[in-house]
C-alpha cells in the first residue's frame, strides 16, 4: 500500500456510471435477450406439448413471475416474507371484483399491480422498524388475515370464489382461445421479467445486494436502508399482484387458496428449487415444480411426502438450487477441459 502518489489518470469518464465494469452493466443487453430466450424456449415447449401439459405450463410461467417477485425480497434484499401469496391473491381478487368493468386486460393487470403495491406500502411502513424475523411474522399474519377475509366478506364469495373473470381482447384480438392467451401471458411475463432484470442490474439492484450483505455497512456509505427495503417490498408486491391478475384471467376464477399460507410456502419452495442466488433461478424452479407436482400428484397417493423429500434434498444437498448446481457443473467441466 505504499505506492507513490500518482496523478489521477483520465481514462474513466465522469458521469452517472463511474466504473468500467459497472458502466457496461448499465447498458447490459441481458434484460432484452434473456426474456426473449425465456419466451422462445417456453413457447417452443408449449406448442410441442399435449393440451393438459400446456395448461400446466400456462400456470407455470405466471408462477415464474410470482417466484421472481419473491426473490426481489428473499434473494436480492435479504428480507424474509412468509405471506407473499397475499399480494398474489389481492391482485387476483382485484381483477375478479372489477370483472364487470369495460377495461382492457392490460388495464386489469395494472389495477391488480396497483392494489397489491398499495397493500405492500402499508405493510412495509408498519413493519419498517422490525427485525428480519419479526417482519416475516408480520407478513405471515397479514397473509392469514387476507385469507380469512375471503370467508368473512360476502362479496368475496368464500370457498366458492369468484367466477367468470373475462380474458378480454387486445386490439380486436380475442384472448379466450388458449393459444392466444398463451402468447398474451408469456409476453406479459417476459416483458416484466425484462424490467425486473434491468432493475436487478441497476444501481438500485446493487444497493439491495449491499443491504442483503450488510445493512449496517450499507447505511454507513449513505444507502437509505429502510427506504430501499420499502421500495423493494412495494416492487415485489406489485409484481406479485400483477401475476395474480394474470392468474385470474387465465383461470377465469379466483378462490381463497390463492392467498393461503400453504401457497406462500409453495412459492418459497419453488424459488428455492430453482435457486434464489440467480435471477432466473426462481422462474426455473416454478416451472420445474409445476411439472413435478403434476407428475407426482397424478401417480402416487404420497404426493406431499415426495414433495417434502424433494424440498429436503434441495435444502441439504444443493442449497443454491438447480441453477446453482448447473453452474457448478459448468465450472467443473470447463476446469476439466483446461487441465486436459
Partner 1 sequence: MSELKITSLSASYGLAVALTDVSITLRKGETVGLLGRNGAGKTTLLKSIVNDPEISATGEVTVAGASLRKTPTYKVARRGVAWVPDNRRIFTSLSVAENLDIAKSRKAPGDQLDKVLANVPLVEKLLKRRGFELSGGEQQAVTIARALMGDPDFLLLDEPTEGLAPLIVEQLRTSISRLPSLFDLGVLVTEQNFRFVTELADRVHILETGQAVWAGAPDELVARPDLINRHLSVGEK
Cβ pair 175, 252 in contact under 8 A: no
Residue 37: all three cell numbers together? 430466450
| 131 near partner 1, rule: CB under 8 A | no
Choose which of 36, 163, 213, 297 interacts with partner 1 (CB under 8 A): 213
- Cα dihedral 307, 287, 243, 227 sign: positive
How many other C-beta atoms lie within 10 A of the C-beta of residue 278?
A: 19
Q: What does 21-76 look like in DSSP terms, one character per residue? A: HHHHHHT-SHHHHHHHHHHHHHHHHHHHS-HHHHHHHHHHHHHHHHHHHHHIIIII
Scanning 14-22, 48-56, 98-106, 237-245 for contacts with partner 1 by CB under 8 A, the matching segment is 14-22
| 231 near partner 1, rule: CB under 8 A | no
Rounded Cα gap, residues 335 and 284, in angstroms: 25
| 338 near partner 1, rule: CB under 8 A | no
Residue 191: all three cell numbers together? 416483458
The smaller minimum CB distance to partner 1, of residues 51 and 222, is found at 222
Scanning 63-71, 116-124, 146-154, 223-231 for contacts with partner 1 by CB under 8 A, the matching segment is 223-231
The smaller minimum CB distance to partner 1, of residues 96 and 218, is found at 218
Rounded Cα gap, residues 80 and 48, in angstroms: 38
Choose which of 77, 200, 207, 249 interacts with partner 1 (CB under 8 A): 207
Q: Is 153 left (phi over 0), alpha (psi -120 to 50) or beta?
A: beta
Look at residues 147, 145, 88 and name the one whose alpha carbon lies nearest to residue 113: 88
Minimal distance, residue 26 CB to partner 1, in Å: 10
Terminal CA-CA length for the chain: 38
| 12 near partner 1, rule: CB under 8 A | yes
| 10 near partner 1, rule: CB under 8 A | yes
How many other C-beta atoms lie within 10 A of the C-beta of residue 203?
A: 13
Choose which of 72, 210, 238, 267 interacts with partner 1 (CB under 8 A): 210
Provide the mask over 253-292, with x wherever binding to partner 1 is found by CB under 8 A and - wherever it is not: ----------------------------------------
The smaller minimum CB distance to partner 1, of residues 99 and 278, is found at 278
User: Applying CB under 8 A, what is the total number of residues that bind partner 1?
Assistant: 38
Choose which of 29, 48, 102, 216 interacts with partner 1 (CB under 8 A): 216
Residues forming the site for partner 1 (CB under 8 A): 1-3, 5-12, 14-15, 17-22, 25, 203, 206-207, 209-210, 212-214, 216-225
Amino acid at each position: 500500500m505504499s505506492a507513490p502518489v500518482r496523478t489521477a489518470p483520465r481514462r474513466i469518464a465522469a458521469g452517472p456510471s463511474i466504473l468500467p465494469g459497472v458502466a457496461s452493466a448499465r447498458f447490459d443487453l441481458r434484460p432484452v435477450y434473456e426474456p426473449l430466450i425465456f419466451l422462445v424456449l417456453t413457447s417452443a415447449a408449449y406448442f410441442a406439448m399435449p393440451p393438459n401439459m400446456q395448461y400446466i405450463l400456462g400456470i407455470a410461467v405466471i408462477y415464474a413471475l410470482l417466484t421472481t417477485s419473491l426473490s426481489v425480497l428473499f434473494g436480492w434484499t435479504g428480507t424474509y416474507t412468509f405471506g407473499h401469496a397475499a399480494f398474489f391473491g389481492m391482485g387476483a381478487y382485484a381483477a375478479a371484483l372489477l370483472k364487470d368493468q369495460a377495461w382492457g386486460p392490460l388495464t386489469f393487470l395494472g389495477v391488480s399491480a396497483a392494489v397489491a403495491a398499495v397493500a405492500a406500502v402499508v405493510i412495509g411502513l408498519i413493519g419498517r422498524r422490525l427485525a428480519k424475523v419479526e417482519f416475516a411474522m408480520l407478513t405471515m399474519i397479514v397473509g392469514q388475515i387476507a385469507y380469512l377475509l375471503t370467508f368473512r366478506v360476502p362479496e368475496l364469495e368464500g370457498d366458492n370464489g369468484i367466477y367468470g373473470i373475462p380474458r378480454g381482447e387486445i386490439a380486436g384480438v380475442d384472448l379466450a382461445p388458449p393459444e392466444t392467451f398463451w402468447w398474451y401471458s408469456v409476453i406479459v411475463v417476459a416483458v416484466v421479467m425484462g424490467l425486473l432484470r434491468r432493475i436487478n442490474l441497476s444501481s438500485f439492484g446493487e444497493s439491495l445486494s449491499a443491504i442483503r450483505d450488510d445493512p449496517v455497512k450499507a447505511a454507513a456509505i449513505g444507502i437509505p436502508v429502510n427506504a430501499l427495503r420499502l421500495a423493494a417490498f412495494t416492487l415485489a408486491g406489485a409484481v406479485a399482484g400483477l401475476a395474480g391478475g394474470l392468474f385470474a384471467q387465465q383461470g377465469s376464477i379466483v378462490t381463497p387458496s390463492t392467498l393461503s399460507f400453504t401457497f406462500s410456502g409453495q412459492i418459497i419452495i419453488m424459488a428455492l428449487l430453482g435457486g434464489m442466488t440467480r435471477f432466473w433461478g426462481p422462474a426455473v424452479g416454478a416451472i420445474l415444480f409445476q411439472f413435478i407436482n403434476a407428475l407426482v400428484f397424478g401417480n402416487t397417493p404420497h404426493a406431499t411426502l415426495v414433495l417434502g423429500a424433494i424440498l429436503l434434498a434441495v435444502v441439504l444437498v444443493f442449497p443454491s438450487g438447480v441453477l446453482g448446481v448447473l453452474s457448478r457443473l459448468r465450472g467443473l467441466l470447463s476446469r476439466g477441459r483446461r487441465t486436459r
